[in-house]
Homo-oligomer: A and B are copies of this chain.
């Protein structure tokens, strides 16, 4: 039996509360499907670590983590003591860049038992993936400020799109679309307003499309695409987007499906040269931390995605099925209208698995 080595990075806030439940679910699935897992826990990255050491992680973080098969990540951020751009650029965004996790993958699904904020939608109506470029584009630290402190002050902020970076995310998205029954890919653009980077993106989409003749692909400007997520989410199958557009769409999509509090995300290095990272969308939620009421489902769902990526599709499906049953039958944390604790929900899901 191959043993998967997983680094546990619980991080800050409710990351620390949901992590044990994510592990519990993965362990349950591992027992059922006879999968070997070896967990190693790290105190960093975290804002506590930052307060002690003046940095989010030790300098040799790459060496310490690069041998793992996956990083199981809770949440990072504690804005009261460390500004978000410090904690995030010092951890999550470093992982994405330096472990070349160039795909951010998020499922968007309307699930039974989850109240949907859109009118007249049924489970099954919303079921698509967002594939987000995760290393470059609008998220860059290149640029600067001139005439500081005067009326002429301005800042420049560079967006950077490389052929390598664009083509590999498009390839991943076309491959994913090709495996799905509808074989439909939608690309987010804004080439009518942003006149250099976005026409380039469109051009690469068309070029890549030539290699996937079975995949029907279309383009929407991000403004109208955001509107369509609300008006007709059933028309999407796989949506591919730049770093910023993908960021927006992958909060908006789960919001439309009512799952923003329970949505998972995978930061993938598909070439498997570096470990991939699996994290809930919800963040560290300082406002509810410490009461053991955080919903652990996102973390559990991340565990499912992690097992899938490690080659255990059957374990993924079993965890997701258990989540679906728990959403219908309970127990539920307060955000879903229940009174159960994080631990109770986690144990219930593990029991179903």
Contact = CB atoms under 8 A, between A and B. Distances in A.
A195 B243 CA distance: 14
Nearest to A283: B224
A151 interface: yes
Interface stretch (A67-75, A81-89, A290-298): A81-89
Q: Which size bracket describes the interface of A in this complex?
A: 35 or more
A244 interface: yes
A248 to B, nearest CB: 5
B227 A254 contact: yes
A241 to B, nearest CB: 12
Given A88-B192, A145-B196, A163-B151, A251 B231 contact: no
A235 to B, nearest CB: 14
A156 B140 CA distance: 11
27 contacts: A85-B192, A85-B195, A89-B195, A93-B193, A116-B119, A117-B119, A117-B230, A141-B195, A145-B196, A153-B162, A153-B163, A154-B160, A154-B163, A155-B196, A156-B196, A157-B160, A159-B159, A190-B244, A190-B247, A193-B247, A222-B248, A223-B247, A223-B251, A226-B251, A227-B254, A230-B230, A230-B252
Given A153-B162, A154-B161, A157-B158, 16 more contacts: A84-B192, A85-B195, A88-B192, A138-B194, A141-B195, A143-B196, A145-B200, A154-B162, A157-B161, A193-B247, A223-B247, A226-B248, A227-B255, A227-B260, A230-B230, A252-B252
